[in-house]
Amino acid sequence: MSLDMIQIVGFGLVAAFLSMIVKEQKPAYAFLLTLFVGAMIFLFLLDHIVIAFQLIETLANQANINMIYLETMLKIIGIAYIAEFGAQIARDADEGAIAQKIELAGKVLIVVMALPIFNVLIETVISLIPG
Amino acid sequence: MGYDVDTIFQIAGIGIVVAMIHTVLKQMGKEDWAQWVTLIGFVVILYMVATIVDDLFQRIRSIFLFIG
């Protein structure tokens, strides 16, 4: 894992340097370079995220948790990662307004996804109340 | 996965070469040609970036159970 970290940092430094050089000539190209590097580092991280998720899944299976809850949780984490990625790319392109809208969309979608679970929780609590 | 560090050098290289060609064509007084070169270089890089972003999104879809 530490070797992977060194690899990513080296990769990021090379990319930052190249982006600095290209930005003087063509800022749009530098932006695409940044986008590419971001996607590549993310792809790199996905391999490790898979390992963590498999562990969570095994634990949930052993604890007999309903798979729908786990699935919703994974989707929410996915939405958070994608929203973060998109917002940072938009912010890199000096489009702070678009970045904030992407983040807002991510928050709204997460709330909508969590609503059914919240509903179940409220119903459980109500059913526990006697009378 | 066929991505490695070479690709970012490729992108940066395309950027620098296109900037050079742009300057040369501008010096020759062919402004419209210079614009076309910039545009085509941009499209080539955009294609490379779009490929990796598409791959990333497909992977995210499969890992975070977005298939349905």
The SS3 call for residue A64 is coil
Residues of B in contact with A46 (CB under 8 A): 56, 59-60, 63
Q: Considering only alpha carbons, which residue of chain A is nearest residue B47?
A: A32
Number of Cβ pairs closer than 8 Å across A and B? 91
Query: Does the pLDDT at position B65 exceed 90?
Result: no
Residue B8 pLDDT: 87
* pLDDT the model gives residue A109: 94
ipTM comes to 0.84
- For A30, half-sphere exposure in the C-beta direction (CA atoms, 13 angstrom radius) is 17
Q: Is the pLDDT of residue B4 over 80?
A: no
Closest to A40 measured CA to CA, from B42, B1, B44: B1
Please tell me if residue B36 touches chain A, with a CB cutoff of 8 Å: no
Does residue B66 have a pLDDT over 70?
no
pTM score of the predicted model: 0.83
Which of A110, A112, A83, A111 lies closest to A99 in space, CA to CA?
A: A83
| Alpha helix stretches (DSSP H) within A1-131 | 2-25, 27-62, 67-92, 96-128
Q: What is the DSSP string of B7-45?
A: HHHHHHHHHHHHHHHHHHHHHTT-HHHHHHHHHHHHHHH
Look at residues A75, A76, A99, A95 and name the one whose alpha carbon lies nearest to residue A86: A99
Tokens (6 digits) for B34: 């210079």
pLDDT per 10-residue tile (average), chain A, 131 residues: 86 92 88 91 88 89 86 89 91 92 95 91 91 69
For the stretch B10-58, pLDDT in tens is 888 999 999 999 999 999 888 888 899 999 999 999 999 999 999 988 8
Q: Do B15 and A30 touch (CB under 8 A)?
A: yes
If one counts every other C-beta atom within 10 angstroms of the C-beta of residue A4, the result is 12
- Predicted confidence at residue B68, as pLDDT, reads 47
